[in-house]
């Protein structure tokens, strides 16, 4: 499985979110730690135990 994510550095930390869930940031002291935190976040989100998760969808539309 491949998960795309966006990250940046701020005050010595790597901060990021899964692109499919941009409202849920996490952080790590290194890029490897951030990736571990993102994997954990994905497991929490996909478990179905968290309520109110906003998701990104794609709408296909053809003009008539």
Contact 50, 40 (CB under 8 A): no
Quick: pLDDT tens for 12-42: 999 999 999 999 999 999 999 999 999 999 9
User: CA–CA separation, 25 vs 19, rounded Å?
Assistant: 10
Q: Are 22 and 16 in contact (CB under 8 A)?
A: no
Question: What pLDDT shows up at residue 8?
Answer: 98
Query: Beta partners for 16?
Result: 7, 26
Q: Which domain holds residue 29?
A: 1-64
Count of the separate structural domains present in the chain: 1
Look up the CATH number of the domain holding residue 54.
3.30.160
What pLDDT is stored for residue 64 in this prediction? 84
CA distance 32 to 13: 11
Output 26 or 54, whichever has higher pLDDT. 26
């Amino acid at each position: 499985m491949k998960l795309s994510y966006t990250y940046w550095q701020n005050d010595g930390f790597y901060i990021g979110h899964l692109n499919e869930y941009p409202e849920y940031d996490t952080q790590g002291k290194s890029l490897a730690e951030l990736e571990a935190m993102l994997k954990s976040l994905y497991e929490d989100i996909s478990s179905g135990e968290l309520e109110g998760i906003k998701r990104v969808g794609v709408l296909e539309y053809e003009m008539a």
